[in-house]
Amino acid sequence: MDINLLKQAHLFQDLDDGELARVAEVCREQKFAVGQHVFKEGEPGNRLYIIAEGEVRISRTIPGSGEEALAVLKPGATFGEMAIFDRSERSTDAIANTSCTLITISRPDFELLLDFNRDLAFKILWSVVRLLSSRLRVTNDNLRSFLAMSMF
């Protein structure tokens, strides 16, 4: 496992090389063919993913109108991490947009990593706080725009 890929992932951006090496120990590689589901909305979430090669489309199915693509993620992007923290169901579909290689970390491995490495856990959790704050700001902006458009 190349730690340079981990350095690109927002969750691990604050870690030093030794800490990244510890994360690399719990990483596994999975390959997906074009169109193959990485996971489906509503499934239990038990791992996070980092794109090593290829692209992954994040989407959801809108009843009556089909698939709505929310994002196309490129190498270095992390996805599926929400379920690692809140043990919830997947909120979207993740589909291989091209053939791709993903690096995965299971929830049990991730939890053990955080339990036994407090400094690493602190750095990762601060990255998560920044990520969630950023996503919340985007959601707020989108909601504000939507409400402004609906008033006309």
Buried b (16+ CB within 10 A) or exposed e, 15-29: beeebbeebbeebee
- State the Cα angle at 39 between 138 and 97, rounded to 5°: 75
- Please state, in angstroms and rounded to a whole number, the distance separating the CA atoms of residues 126 and 107: 18
CB 11 within 8 A of CB 124: yes
Structural domains in the chain plus CATH codes: 3-150 (2.60.120.10)
Per-position pLDDT tens, the chain of length 152: 779 899 988 889 999 999 999 999 999 999 999 999 999 999 999 999 999 999 999 999 888 888 888 899 999 999 998 888 888 889 899 999 999 999 999 999 999 999 999 999 999 999 988 988 998 898 898 888 888 888 76
pTM score: 0.86
The phi and psi torsions of 40 (rounded to 5 degrees) equal -120, 150
Task: Please name the helix (run of DSSP H) or strand (run of DSSP E) that holds residue 87, with its range, or none.
Answer: none
